[in-house]
Structure 1
Amino acid sequence: MKVWTRDVLSEFVRTKLDGYRLIVVSNREPFQHRRANGHIECIQPASGMASALDPVMRASGGLWIAHGNGDADRQSVDQFDHVQVPPENPEYTLRRVWLSKEEEEGYYLGFANQGLWPLCHVAFTRPLFDPDHWRTYRRVNERFAEAVMQEAGSDPTFVFIQDYHFALLPRMLREAGSNLVIAQFWHIPWPNREVFSAFPWREEILHGLLGNDLLGFHLPQHCQNFVETVDCSVEARVDRAGSEICRGGHCTLVRPFPIGIDFDEHSDLAESESMSVHIRRWNQELSLKGKSLGIGIDRLDYTKGIPERFRFLDRLLERYPAYRGKIVFVQIAVPSRSTLPAYRQIELEVDALAAQINLRWGTPSWRPIVLLKRHYTQPEMIALHRLAHFCVVSSLHDGMNLVAKEFAASRFDEDGVLVLSKFAGAARELKDAIQINPFSIEEGAEAYRAALQMDRAERGRRMRKMREAIDQDNVYRWAGKFLSQMARIEFPDSNDPDRREFDFSLTAEKALGVAV
């Protein structure tokens, strides 16, 4: 059975969404204009979500609404704030929404990332519930609602909203326009009902999300948490078995859609001749001859468990002296949200712990931890994947974590070991990783030792099974399954009595010869 590919997804959209408008809404834009060396260049920021939806937009000729924050974005749009993308072969429209510095700080850095982010990630960082941030968040959601309605007009339109930045947007759209099918994918976990009950604006957020026709999460557990939260918080008819919530004459389906990556892109790039340059540079820079390499690649975020993985290494070196001088752990920690206090604090902790462990165990010719705090290109990171004996994903809580999948996709040689937190969504799919409780130093240290001692045959068996799973459940399957479910929903103004009864998802996948 053929798997979903970029081409299959494009054909699916052309065949099954023909005649309908598609609008995607996200905070991050798929293309950004920046000034460089005296001229304006258009770049495509790294984003798994954008990788999945770009072929959908190209095939549909749709419209993508996002916050324009490139320093040359305003100079690159027309009078309607539109720009055609991709620049080399325009196939769809990007509509930019402009935010003031105050709006960006209140809505994005404030409410979304100091309120909702720590609330939904149970990582023991206290959320900040600021009324001013809340008002700004609501105002920005209104701005995006206005943009969607301006673009949609009266045409039957699918609106696909991305993530926790727009929890209020679905209800605003529902009340503003009738000829819309509205769906949203929530890319982060949903907490249990007890945790969410601490949220001061919980009813407003739930009311907003229940404006969706379809609401997707990564995992069934996240769906269950959301349904239970609604059942205990607002007046609604809740069908737990069918995962459907009806309120005020409108029903919302809640479904799991675990996101994937572009497997072929990573695997092919890892196998390309250009990798040799990056691999040689890493070998020279890290002095890896005769040493085992462990790696971690993350945003510098308190949910990722970076201090925990350093402590695992510290305990390994303490308990097993034979590894001293024989292992190098490289941590790429990409700076993130560095103006926020919690992020400055985690950076200080990571810096101090790396220095402490290097001082304790290091020698004039060897540092156990190499901490690199800057952005690296995709080829540079894939080269590091290729060299690693093991990769660590020690998230304290994570919706999915695509680094785990990217590591396995890069290992076309079917070697290397993945050490994976059981609290990352990816753990549900990647059963052949060494799974750990990241809060247990002993468990983490023993996982490192197991990874270093695992024989070649066992490494190959585990990696092969993980690669097969990632190839099958790739990012194009995620997008295709979500859009299949969206397309089954009847437009409020539709006169087609058979639309809802048509089992779109199965028919589409069977017709295209795609694995369900």
Structure 2
Amino acid sequence: MKLIFRLGGIAALVAGLVILAVLPFATSFVEQWARRDVELRSRLVFSTARDQIVDLMVRNDTEQIDRLFERVATDERVLAIGYCDGQELLFPTKNMPGSFSCAQAARSDSETFSTIRADDRDVLVSAFPLKANGRTGHLVVLHDMSYVQRRGAQARNYIFLALAGVALGAAALVAAIALLIMRRWLASVRQAIENVRAGTPPLPHSDDLPAIGKEIHDVLQELDATRRTIDAAHTDWSPDALRAALSNELSGSEVIVVSNREPYIHNRTDNGITLQIPASGLVAALEPITRACGGTWVAHGSGTADRETVDTYDRVAVPPGHPSYTLRRVWLTEEEQDGYYYGAANEGLWPLCHIAFVRPVFRETDWRMYRAVNAKFADAVVAEAKREDPVVLVQDYHFALLPRMIRERLPRATIVTFWHIPWPNAETFGICPWREEIIDGLLGSSILGFHTQAHCNHFLEAVDAYVESRIDRERDAVTYGGEETLIRPYPISIEWPPAALAGQKSVEECRAAVRQRLGLPPEMRLGVGIERFDYTKGIIDRMKAIDTLLTDYPEWKGHFVFAQVAAPTRSKLANYRQLQEEAEALARDINVRHGTEGYEPIKLLVRHHEPDEVFELFRAADLCVVSSLHDGMNLVAKEFVAARDDEAGVLILSAFAGASRELAEALIVNPYNAHAMGEAFNRALTMPLGEQRERMRLMRDQVRERNVYRWAGQMLLAASRLRKRQRIRRVIAESRRRASAYA
């Protein structure tokens, strides 16, 4: 009996020490994230109302400004709003503390946050610079911080009560069972606390876990959501930041990338073996990421000299000259390529998902080949995996079945699949004969990413319509076959700064060189469009818009030329051959009708252009057109913005490209409306330089902050959080198993 009481006393003492250690941490944790939550709310208020405030100030509409401020101040966390013009406080809302003055707010050329005492309470003052009517003032947003102390005290009390209950339960348990069982439970508790201290998000509620108070659960869930938002918004993503994140979050983890297109292609030519870097948005996005994280890239070896440059295990170290990762090539026969790539993927899934009014072709023979090639890639991934729990990044619609195949052979792998093209609505997807198998394959992923939230929603609707599963709409998660898949939007982007920009000459020199090469006079206005010959890109539609421009605004004849760069692609498919023939015929027709001797309004450049050539064209152009009929993202738009370090030039962007969700300062157009597009061309050509720079500056900020390293970082950090949760679950499950064995 004395031993039992002694063990119970030890357990109570240990539990008390845990309470003393955890309480200050928990209180500080809640207060810190609550303040960041308030700062984030202030930023959201400012970003939402900024343009409307500037417009009202320009119009000197003080009555509407007062109404706008009062409406915004109704937010439950906002105390008051005002505008500081120097030391003068303008438009204060009715709840503005009487003791507040502009002198109390810390102000600078960027956003600032400061805490003051006003009316016997702590108030957080957020000040945001705002330029209107040629003067710079500051929008000040005041938040009452007393709720932070209340939340901290409430969380401290709840945690104290919860931990006290655990202590009593532990003491009773130790009195009833052996010391060995208790030690194993304490080991699992210590592991959980260490993961919390390391920043691991709280575990989702489970009936198998010890119950905690609903209030604590809700607070931790809120903090988890806030942290995800703040992490994404405040990290300055770069190759070094990505490497640091990988080092901290995935230290010792193995990373494997899988794609159809390889980042380096070796071809045999008359001059020997040459190296080609393909013009692919997918490769442009993933190659710098794989350099940063190392590991292995598994891809189809398509070059004529690819077999000559690999070792006996079909591997080659890349990039050439400075190897940082391994490229593992997978070989496909011509029959496999025809059925898997040209057939099922590009005659079936590509038109199905893009809804570009080209009928998809579904052949059972193609699908059998698609399944077989996915299995071949699964074999390669398993062969390359050096651990039982690698992080596998599966890329694009070529590998819809691959996640499930990997999951069956590497059940502890963290599989992140990214779908680089749009996902159609459920009704459209329903015409696919293999819809259930595709959904089943993709739900083998731990995380499934799309470009936009709309594509995520469409996928969830398809899952709901065609397979038996449980969908958690609040968390955007699908539980299927006892396994959970998280569905997330990850807008893809480009590296910043782009490598192709490093060797570029000045904008003036690029303008002169391109015009000389195209046989144009120095003063000729130039527009560019750069993509593959693909029916989803709207090449025909933009040519019709140029025809409309020259018809409605004939003064541009002889003064404007459009250079359309179009690399031939998938020439085996009839739709692609017909598109190229139609584009060439339309260009000739427009040049005959609107051209004169020595002047052709459309220059059709049908060949592959290297990245440095593309960026030279971007820098030489007055405008760039991205007129996709339907696109997942379209990185050409972002590359044009990145190329314009002079902050000049105009981007004309289709509303049906994913990039339009981020680059709102472009001229957004409906590519199906030739007249409206022609008007957009004229507006771009007549846009004042000041307006061009204002628009371009905002777009460049967006592309710089939301670059490809952020895209990769978001997915990899999500994978890291998921792996930590799974580790905690395994520890708890193992401790319970051992406890049951000893009981």
2:598 maps to amino acid: S
The answer to whether the Cα contact below 8 Å between 1:154 and 1:179 also exists between their aligned partners in 2 is no
Q: Which residue does the alignment assign to 1:258? A: 491
Return the alpha-carbon distance in structure 1 between the equivalents of residues 517 and 375 of structure 2: 52
Letter of the structure 2 residue corresponding to residue 370 of structure 1:
K
Of stretches 79-88 and 180-189 in structure 1, the one that deviates more from structure 2 is 79-88
Does the C-alpha gap of structure 1 residues 344 and 201 become closer, same or farther in structure 2, counting only changes over 3 Å? same
Match of 1:399 in 2: 632
Q: Matches of residues 217-256 of structure 1 in structure 2 within 5 Å? A: 217-256=450-489
Identify the residue that residue 107 of structure 1 maps to in structure 2.
340
Secondary structure of 1:263 counterpart: coil
**Equivalence for 1:162:** 395
Counterparts of 1:17-416 in structure 2, within 5 Å, are 17-37=250-270, 39-152=272-385, 154-265=387-498, 268-269=501-502, 272=505, 276=509, 279-416=512-649
Query: Aligned equivalents of 1:34 and 1:274: distance in 2?
Result: 33
**What's the counterpart of residue 431 of structure 1?**
664
2:394, 2:648 → 1: CA distance?
38
| 2: CA distance, partners of 1:281 / 1:223 | 41
> How high is the TM-score relative to the length of structure 1?
0.92
Q: CA deviation at 1:25?
A: 0.7
For the pair 1:484 / 2:717, whether they are aligned, the reply is: yes
Write the distance in 1 (CA, Å) between the matches of 2:400 and 2:505: 41
Q: How far is 1:315 from its partner? A: 1.1
Per the alignment, residue 458 of structure 1 pairs with: 691
Please say if residues 108 and 165 of structure 1, whose CA atoms lie closer than 8 Å, have aligned partners that are also in contact.
Answer: yes
More displaced stretch, 83-92 vs 25-34:
83-92
Deviations 1:208-267 (A, max 9, x none): 101101000000000000001111111110112221111110111000000111231268
Deviates more, 1:31-40 or 1:304-313: 31-40
CA distance, structure 1, for counterparts of residue 724 and residue 262 of structure 2 = 27
RMSD value, Cα: 2.1
Is 1:10 aligned to 2:252, yes or no? no
Higher-Rg member (1/2): 2
What amino acid is aligned across from residue 488 of structure 1 in structure 2? Answer: R
SS of 1:223's partner is helix
**2:389·2:410 contact (CA, 8 Å) conserved in 1?**
no
Q: Deviation at 1:204?
A: 0.5
Amino acid at match of 1:480: G
Query: Does the C-alpha gap of structure 1 residues 322 and 54 become closer, same or farther in structure 2, counting only changes over 3 Å?
Result: closer
Q: 1:286 to 1:38 in 2, by over 3 A?
A: closer
Quick check: 240-249 or 182-191, which moved more? Answer: 240-249
User: 8 Å contact 1:10–1:56 — kept in the other structure?
Assistant: no
Residue 474 of structure 1 aligns with which residue?
707
- Asked if the contact 2:254/2:390 (under 8 Å) is kept, the reply is yes
State whether structure 2 residue 650 is matched by structure 1 residue 446: no
| Equivalent residue letter for 1:391 | C
Equivalent residue number for residue 508 of structure 1: none
The 3 A distance-change label for structure 1 pair 53 and 380 is closer
Check the 8 A contact 1:26/1:65 in 2, yes or no: yes
Aligned partners of 2:362 and 2:389: how far apart in 1? 37
Residue 71 of structure 1: how far off its partner (Å): 1.2
Structure 1 position 11, deviation (Å): 2.4
Once residues 51 and 12 of structure 1 are traced to their aligned partners in structure 2, the CA distance between those partners, rounded to angstroms, is 21
* Alpha-carbon distance in 2 for matches of 1:2, 1:484: 12
Shift of residue 29, structure 1, vs aligned partner: 1.2
- Deviation string 1:106-150 (CA, Å, 9 cap, x unpaired) is 101111111000000011001110111101000000101111112
| Letter of the structure 2 residue corresponding to residue 325 of structure 1 | G
- In structure 2, the CA distance between the partners of 1:470 and 1:79, relative to structure 1 (3 Å rule), is same
**Greater RCO, CA 8 A, separation 6+:** 1
Structure 1 Cα separation of the partners of residues 453 and 718 of structure 2: 16
* Ranges in structure 1 where 5+ consecutive residues have no aligned partner: 500-516
How many Å separate the matches in 2 of 1:79 and 1:267? Answer: 33
Percent identity of the aligned residues?
49
Greater per-residue helix proportion: 2
Aligned partners of 1:157, 1:246: CA distance in 2, in Å?
22
Deviation readout 1:369-410 (Å, 9 max, x if unpaired):
111100112222212111211111111000001111111111
Structure 2: segments with no counterpart, 5+ residues: 1-233, 733-743
Instruction: Please tell me the residue identity of whatever aligns with 1:69.
Output: S
Say if 1:390 and 1:417, in contact at 8 Å, map to a contact too: yes
The answer (yes or no) to whether the contact 2:526–2:621 under 8 Å persists in 1 is yes
Give the Cα–Cα distance (whole angstroms) in 2 for the partners of residues 394 and 52 of structure 1: 21
Contact 1:306–1:350 under 8 Å retained in 2: yes
Q: Distance in 2 between matches of 1:95 and 1:482?
A: 23
CA–CA distance in structure 2, aligned partners of residues 150 and 488 of structure 1: 26
